[in-house]
Amino acid sequence: MQGKIALEEHVAIDATLSDSQVFGAHVWDTLGPRLVDVQDMRLAEMDKYGIEMMILSLNAPAVQAIHDVARAVQVAQLANDALAAEVRKRPARFAAFAALPMQDPEAATKELTRCVKELGFVGALVNGFSQTGAPDNVTYYDLPQYRPFWRALEALDVPFYLHPRNPLPSWSRFYEGHNWMLGPNWAFAAETAVHALRLIGSGLFDECPNLKIVLGHLGEGIPVQLWRIDGRNGWMKAPHKYPAKHGVGHYFRKHFHLTTSGNFHTPSLVNAVAEMGADRVMFSVDWPFEDVGEGCDWFDKAQIGEADRVKIGRDNAIKLFKLKL
């Protein structure tokens, strides 16, 4: 399919490049340059495989792992200026998500506003919880201090992409001795799914009824668990035990959009579409951790209807991010 749009596509700046090294030390000669490149290798692969536009975002965990709050603010600004400069070179091919210093909700709101209003960014991409003030002080965004940030995001009417990061070692005792589960094999999805469920259960979406959240990797495992999360042994009719008014599925289907990043498997795509509808799933690759050719060859031939392919490959993203293509 020509004209695809991909939206979990990462770029590193000098200050954040080394964060990705642990995820591909054995292929760093290839991975490192690909993370930094925008206009050469990346563009050539987009042309070769029919990707018209990539929405660029910073690599992970980057800003979220900088516990020095002033430094987090500074690196986010540097990254966003760098992304804006790349978009300016080819605005028909690239757009950008803001990196945000969520360590300081007011600074995050200010930076988001700058990115959307002055730099033309189409949303934010944040790498999970933030380490705030000290390496082991973790903040999740359901906490009350983030409500003004969420209200500002809602008022700006841009989506928030909740991207994975690993849990901290101090919060990962149950992976001890089994480190292979960290990263994209398992822990990224588990961490991110819990964060998404925290947002839902907290009542955030009752307070901000127009928030739009994006999850990658076909929903970080939530779609296949959605029925059970709300089931709670149906006959017991146990009331749910969180502040939000409705069931999890209600909020997930109303506020969340999923991408295919790093999950090029047709049964999983079909399941995501069955749970969410074809209007809420969007094609993505996860450059440079995933291969553009593999992702595109899979998506272009996946056994789904052609009308759904056009929605998922292109039209849903144009609508959600108000892209001018």
Helical packing angle, 147-156 and 105-117, nearest 10°: 10
Question: One symbol per residue from 196 to 225: x for binding ligand GRE (CB under 6 A), - otherwise; what is it?
Answer: ------------------------------
**Which one of Zn ion, ligand GRE, none is in contact with 16 (Cβ closer than 5 to 8 A by kind)?**
none
Closest CA to 153 of 195, 128, 121, 127: 121
DSSP H or E segment with residue 69: helix 69-89
Nearer to ligand GRE, 58 or 204 (CB): 58
Query: Which of 142, 286, 290, 308 is the binder for Zn ion (CB under 5 A)?
Result: 286
Answer yes or no whether residue 161 interacts with ligand GRE by CB under 6 A.
no
| Residue 191 binding Zn ion, by CB under 5 A | no
Residue 96-125 contact track with ligand GRE, rule CB under 6 A, x = bound: ------------------------------
Nearest residue to 317 (alpha-carbon basis) of 265, 261, 252: 261
- Smallest distance from the beta carbon of 126 to ligand GRE, in angstroms? 12
Q: Residue 165: what are its φ and ψ, rounded to 5°?
A: -150, 170
Note if 286 is an active site residue.
yes
Q: Cβ closer to ligand GRE: 59 or 202?
A: 59
The active-site residue, picked from 286, 291, 297, 300, is 286
Instruction: Answer yes or no: are the C-beta atoms of 276 and 256 closer than 8 Å.
Output: yes
Task: Write the single-letter amino acid at 262.
Answer: G
Residue 183: which of ligand GRE, Zn ion, none does it interact with, CB under 5 to 8 A by kind? ligand GRE
Residue 103 contact partner, candidates Zn ion, ligand GRE, none, CB within 5 to 8 A by sort of partner: none
16 dihedral zone (left: phi>0; alpha: psi -120 to 50; beta)? alpha
Of residues 17-76, those binding ligand GRE (CB under 6 A) = 20, 23, 59-60
Q: Is 2 exposed, middle or buried (0-12, 13-18, 19+ CB in 10 A)?
A: exposed
33: preceding bond cis by omega (within 30 degrees): no
Residue closest to 7 by CA, chosen among 325, 314, 324: 314
Residues of this chain that bind ligand GRE (CB under 6 A): 10, 20, 23, 59-60, 164, 183-184, 262, 286, 289
Residues of this chain that bind Zn ion (CB under 5 A): 8, 286
